[in-house]
Structure 1
Amino acid sequence: MTVVALLSVAPVIEDSMASEVAAAVDALDDFDVAYETNPMGTVIEADDIDTIFAAAGAAHKAVDADRVSTVLKIDDKRAHELRAREKVDAVEDELGRDPKKER
């Protein structure tokens, strides 16, 4: 089974969040997860839900701020294994191209 999640961890501050977000992403390296960071969060893949929760909790705790906002969206497809890249590939197949638009 593969569990895919979107994790967003951010301090509630006015200044740049980059260093604290980097600390949250760095905390994921202590877990058996694959991840890819994007401008809105980090997509995480693991073999089980417990690993997702543990990694997300560690990322949340890694942020040093008085207030931290964390959002975790989980896709736990149990019928068969489907990796994050395969989900993107399916959309690209339907579009007949990469789902990107340059500005």
Structure 2
Amino acid sequence: MIRDLHNVRVRPEQGATTPLTEEEEQRVRAVLFSELGNEIADRGWARFPAYTPEERRRLVAVAQRLTTYWGRQVTVEAEDQTRLRLSLAGFEGYEALPKA
């Protein structure tokens, strides 16, 4: 008996990541837009992990979308190797990371 396999993907090598489909990417960006947008609206800034270049590009795209949506500049800056900080331009009221 032969069985057809549907929606089966080849597993990536150990430690490798698979790129998101276009639909998955849109969903992730929509969630980030909503969650980070709410946090920035409440506090003026948000901190989010970004371990890969794809994650960093995604956060920059979310910041650009928030800028367009609000009509106010949302800036992105690296706090360390694994975190980005999104904030309203000129917002100074946040607790900075301790310097190591």
Q: Common fold, TM-score beyond 0.5?
A: no
Flag the structure with more relative contact order, 1 or 2, with Cα contacts below 8 A and sequence separation at least 6: 1
Q: TM-score range by the shorter chain?
A: 0.3 to 0.5
TM-score, length basis structure 2 = 0.33
| Pair member with larger Rg | 2
TM-score, length basis structure 1 = 0.33
